[in-house]
Amino acid sequence: MNAHVLHRRAFLKVSALAGGGMAFAVGVPGALAADKAAAAALSVWVSIAADNKIVITSKNPEIGQGIKTSLPMMVAEELDCDWSQVSVVQSDYNPKLYGRQFAGGSQSTPQNWLLMRQSGAAARAMLLAAAASKAALPVSELTTDKGWVLHKASGRKWSYGELAALAATMPAPDLAKVPLKDAKAFRIIGKPTVGVDSARVLRGEPLFGIDVRLPGMLHAIYETGPAHGGKLVKANLAAAKAAPGVVAVLQIAGTAVADGLVDGVAIVSTNHWYAEQARELLAVEWDTSASKGHSWSAYAAEAARLHETGVPADLRRDGDALAAIKAGTRQITQRYSYQYLSHAPLEPQNCTALFQDGKLELWAPTQNPGSGADAIERNLGIPQASQTIHITRNGGGFGRRLMGDFMLQAAAIAKALPGKPIKLLWNRTEDLQRDYFRPGGWHNLRAGIDGQGKLVGLADHFVTVGQGGKAGRSAGMRDSQFPAGLIPDLLFAQNVIPSIIPTGPMRAPESNAMAFVMNGFLDEVAEMAGRDLPSLVLELCAGDRVVGDRGDPTRASGAFTTGRARGVVERVLADCNWAGRPKSGNRRLGFGFYFCHLGYFAEVADVSVENGEAKVHKVWVAADVGRQIVNPFGAESQVRGSVIDGIAEALHHQITFTDGEIEQKNFDSYALPRISATPEIAISWVLSDYPPSGLGEPALPPVLPAVTNAISAATGKRIRDLPAKL
């Protein structure tokens, strides 16, 4: 092995544990510092105690996606220990130690696949070196197995715990050269593994942010305006302060900083119920003039006007799409739309904060602790160096907890009441109405086909929401959007409606809507051409081509590979017997395909329609997320959850608003999917020679068009707006 001097810029940092043992961390050069060529951020700590117990620290937030299990599995595999030896702990937020810590974009697996394995392999190499030194043997004569170093020739063996202290003194190996296992030798990776917290969750142990309890803790609510953009005029603070159990009532002014505080009144009491009761006494008056006219109906009318007379800005122009469409034997023009959605996690937003002696300590169920830390520094002037953020388990996120607004509110209240632990908890109505919503959108699509039924041109005039002529957060449209790059004449163009309704990423951001639009319209194109959608997709993906990601052309891993697309399409068609599908009647099959977050998914839904109600009986899923499924148990759970979410988005979910006020108040008007509506879900993995990619998001988009295309086939009525109205 190649020895390296151990210092703060080393790839591997090793230290001895008190009482015997070793701890090591892997460095990622340039992750965070301004001098990116020289800095190192430590990304994972592993400790091996003298009693042979192994603790792996999970740095990324756990939101139900299973990353707290799968990342440690990668380390343990290359460490060659037994999984029963391993316990996993959640790290605090510490970017200088761990690098970037977030759960979003299905990035945890692809960003850490090699690094986690290298860290385990490096520790194994040092343990082998320690055994060689201890026994005066060449390393080449030693092997490892389930937490033991073996010398098979003599029958001697040493536990990792026995060697750990000595291993901590061994030279650090070069991570780029440390040998990794062949996948055929995996014993942990690829084995269905129950989540490390699953039993604790079932027992109701206090793992989530909402479970945090601290000595002397007070409870807070944060009353904000009924409409987005509202400003506080006055409130009866004295009446609320006089209510039972109330400790303090604070009027908090909003900030002008982006993603800052909104105007509000904080009520702090000895329990949450008292605070909610005192809320009723505030009699708050709000100035909601800025929100007037910001209604779903007004946005939809403006979108229709822009589709008729607007001058859109080009997002992508390949060839001359309008001329190609006009020259086609037949043309088709249709409009598609989808409404706003709420993330609606089961655990509402909450955060516990303690401010004392100029330092802030937080307990937060966050997907992105850095977002909250940054917001607190910008808005409250508390440097990140003076913040300690404990990452709790998240009771659902879906992108909502990438935002740090709830952390900022808790910190502002705690700063006003130093020395007192404050737990802020939103109620269900607040959680629905104060969301960063999946934005609605409107599309005017045109296409032409030639005499052989081939798609010869496609244009999409997209109308979205935002500010200053720019699309809002997660309200845009990628210029690499399928089927861009697969036909020579294509035009994507965009207009932006000014909006004050906050938007943000939601599971498979942008893709969750675009898959419905493109697959729905292409299904119509295929029907006009006398064929079906799968045959059209296969034709578009003919040959072995790699279509670069124009959004980031340097990122080869983000490119679209036609062969992988065909692989999942062909597999799902075989699985569902597409060729033998019913061609008439009220129970039909629908197809959808999509590529996002490095994953290729083709899905078919079996749907019946009776008395104006759609029932999804079965969904077939074919997925290509690379060669290795790290944890099949977790992977299947992610796919099933995505399918269930997608069906609800297609058939039921919508957020509407009038003059900036969200009309849905609770789960009676924003119903979550029920077990009784869950279909049978059949999953096939199409393995390909690529590194594994994430699974939290790419399985969701295709199920929406699969369901709506099936409904269209069953009823003869096209579904062009979401949620589907039968």
Give the 3-state secondary structure percentages of the chain, helix then strand then coil, rounded to 5: 30, 30, 40
Closest Cα to residue 697, out of 632, 638, 626, 618? 638
CB-based burial, 384-423: b 16+ in 10 Å, e otherwise? eeebebbbbbbbbbbbbbbbbbbbbbbbbbbbebeebbbb
pLDDT for residue 11 is more than 80: no
- Most confident segment among 3-7, 21-25, 707-711: 707-711
CA–CA dist 176, 161 (Å, integer)? 26
Q: What is the mean pLDDT of residues 610-621?
A: 97
> Are 718 and 710 spatial neighbours (Cβ–Cβ below 8 Å)?
no
Q: What is the mean pLDDT of residues 137-152?
A: 97
Shared domain for 226 and 99, answered yes or no, is: no
Angle at 277 (CA atoms; ends 654, 420), nearest 5 degrees? 100
Sign of the C-alpha dihedral computed for residues 513, 514, 517 and 520 taken in this order: negative
CA–CA dist 418, 58 (Å, integer)? 31
Q: Report the amino acid identity of residue 520.
A: G
Q: H helices within 99-181, ranges in order?
A: 108-135, 160-167
CA–CA dist 371, 95 (Å, integer)? 12
429: number of Cβ within 10 Å:
13
Closest Cα to residue 603, out of 563, 636, 643, 630? 643
Give the chain's domain count.
Answer: 3
Q: What is the mean pLDDT of residues 411-431?
A: 98
Q: Range with the lowest mean pLDDT among 178-192, 254-268, 504-518, 628-642?
A: 254-268
Q: What percent of the chain has pLDDT over 70?
A: 94
Residue 147 lies in a domain: yes
Residue 149 lies in a domain: yes
Shared domain for 267 and 318, answered yes or no, is: no
Q: What is the mean pLDDT of residues 221-233?
A: 96
pLDDT class for 43, splitting at 50, 70, 90?
low
Q: What is the mean pLDDT of residues 498-505?
A: 97
Instruction: Give the domain CATH number at 198.
Output: 3.30.365.10
pLDDT for residue 550 is more than 90: no
Q: What is the mean pLDDT of residues 442-465?
A: 97
pLDDT of residue 45: 79
Shared domain for 193 and 101, answered yes or no, is: yes
- What DSSP designation does 705 have? H
CA–CA dist 586, 607 (Å, integer)? 8
| Residue for token pair 């996002």 | 596
pLDDT for residue 243 is more than 70: yes
Q: What is the mean pLDDT of residues 588-596?
A: 98
pLDDT for residue 555 is more than 60: no
> Are 585 and 714 spatial neighbours (Cβ–Cβ below 8 Å)?
yes
Q: Write out the residue range of the structural domain in which residue 82 sits.
A: 12-202
Residue 626 is encoded by which pair of tokens? 């690379």
Mean of per-residue pLDDT scores for the chain: 93
Shared domain for 318 and 416, answered yes or no, is: no
Q: What is the mean pLDDT of residues 330-356?
A: 98
Closest Cα to residue 317, out of 141, 118, 144, 457? 457
Per-residue model confidence as pLDDT tens digits over 62-105: 999 999 999 999 999 999 999 999 999 999 999 988 888 999 99
pLDDT class for 26, splitting at 50, 70, 90?
low
End of a domain among 374, 406, 433? 433
Q: Where are the beta strands (DSSP E) in 125-283?
A: 143-145, 148-151, 156-159, 218-223, 231-234, 246-252, 264-269
Kindly list the distances between the CA atom of residue 519 and the CA atoms of 234, 329, 515, 644, in Å, as whole numbers in the listed order: 50, 22, 6, 19
Shared domain for 666 and 567, answered yes or no, is: yes
CB-based burial, 241-272: b 16+ in 10 Å, e otherwise? bebebbbbbbebebbeeebebbbbbbbbbeeb
End of a domain among 379, 409, 433? 433
Q: What is the mean pLDDT of residues 497-504?
A: 97
Q: What is the mean pLDDT of residues 159-166?
A: 95
Shared domain for 337 and 284, answered yes or no, is: no
Residue 716 neighbours by CB under 8 Å, 6+ apart: none
Please tell me which residue, 128 or 557, carries the higher pLDDT value. Answer: 128
Per-residue model confidence as pLDDT tens digits over 656-697: 999 999 999 999 999 999 999 999 999 999 999 999 999 999
pLDDT class for 9, splitting at 50, 70, 90?
very low
> Are 353 and 527 spatial neighbours (Cβ–Cβ below 8 Å)?
no
Kindly list the distances between the CA atom of residue 219 and the CA atoms of 269, 305, 351, 369, 540, in Å, as whole numbers in the listed order: 5, 48, 10, 22, 57
Residue 311 lies in a domain: yes
Q: H helices within 546-689, ranges in order?
A: 562-576, 632-651
Shared domain for 528 and 669, answered yes or no, is: yes
Shared domain for 359 and 492, answered yes or no, is: no
Residue 105 lies in a domain: yes
Residue 649 lies in a domain: yes
Shared domain for 173 and 256, answered yes or no, is: no
Q: What is the mean pLDDT of residues 462-480?
A: 96
> Are 326 and 448 spatial neighbours (Cβ–Cβ below 8 Å)?
yes
Residue 208 lies in a domain: no
Please measure the distance between the N-terminal and C-terminal CA atoms of the chain and give it in whole angstroms. 66
Q: Report the amino acid identity of residue 402.
A: L
491: number of Cβ within 10 Å:
23
CA–CA dist 12, 40 (Å, integer)? 10
Task: Compute CA 132 distance to the chain's CA centroid, rounded to the nearest angstrom.
Answer: 45
Q: Where are the beta strands (DSSP E) in 142-263?
A: 143-145, 148-151, 156-159, 218-223, 231-234, 246-252
CA–CA dist 551, 560 (Å, integer)? 12
Predicted TM-score (pTM) above 0.85: yes
Residue 382 lies in a domain: yes
End of a domain among 173, 202, 231? 202
Residue 250 neighbours by CB under 8 Å, 6+ apart: 265, 266, 268, 413, 416, 417
Residue 209 lies in a domain: no
CA–CA dist 194, 210 (Å, integer)? 24
Q: What is the mean pLDDT of residues 44-59?
A: 90
Q: What is the mean pLDDT of residues 293-315?
A: 98
> Are 243 and 394 spatial neighbours (Cβ–Cβ below 8 Å)?
no
Q: H helices within 529-612, ranges in order?
A: 533-540, 562-576
Q: Which residues pair with 494 in a beta bridge?
A: 313, 462
Shared domain for 574 and 469, answered yes or no, is: yes
pLDDT class for 175, splitting at 50, 70, 90?
confident
CB-based burial, 160-172: b 16+ in 10 Å, e otherwise? bbbbbbbbbebbb
> What's the full length of the chain, in residues?
726
CA–CA dist 223, 187 (Å, integer)? 52
Q: What is the phi/psi pair of residue 220, to 5°?
A: -130, 150
Q: What is the mean pLDDT of residues 271-294?
A: 97
pLDDT class for 172, splitting at 50, 70, 90?
confident
Shared domain for 423 and 451, answered yes or no, is: no
Shared domain for 671 and 524, answered yes or no, is: yes
CA–CA dist 284, 661 (Å, integer)? 16
Q: Range with the lowest mean pLDDT among 164-178, 330-344, 551-565, 638-652?
A: 551-565
pLDDT of residue 27: 58
- Residue 176, classified by CB atoms within 10 Å of its CB into exposed (0-12), middle (13-18) or buried (19+), is exposed
